[in-house]
Amino acid sequence: MPSTILSTSLTEAKVLVEVWRNGYDNERPHQSLGYKTPQEYKTEWHKNHSQPRAD
């Protein structure tokens, strides 16, 4: 989030922080996940750990 953004209220500031936090936590690649986004890691994990059902 650019430091030049000024909020006009506490509510607006909270929204801006939450938008930034969501992007930081969920949309950027994480070193601990092999430079994958959390969603990419989750998708790959499920693909590799799913077991075929016995019908």
Is residue 33 included in any domain, yes or no? yes
Is residue 53 helix, strand or coil?
Answer: coil
Q: Cα 54 from chain centroid?
A: 34
State how many domains the chain has. Answer: 1
Residue 5 reports pLDDT greater than 90: no
First to last CA, the chain: 51
- Per-residue pLDDT of 6-55, as tens digits, reads 668 888 889 999 999 999 888 899 999 999 999 999 999 999 998 776 66
Q: What is the DSSP letter of 30?
A: B
3-state secondary structure of 31: helix
* In-domain check, residue 4: no
User: Would 26 be classed as within a structural domain?
Assistant: yes
The pTM of this model reads 0.57
Q: Which domain holds residue 32?
A: 21-48
In a domain, 55, yes or no: no
Q: In this predicted structure, what is the pLDDT of residue 20?
A: 93
Q: Is the residue at 14 inside a domain?
A: no
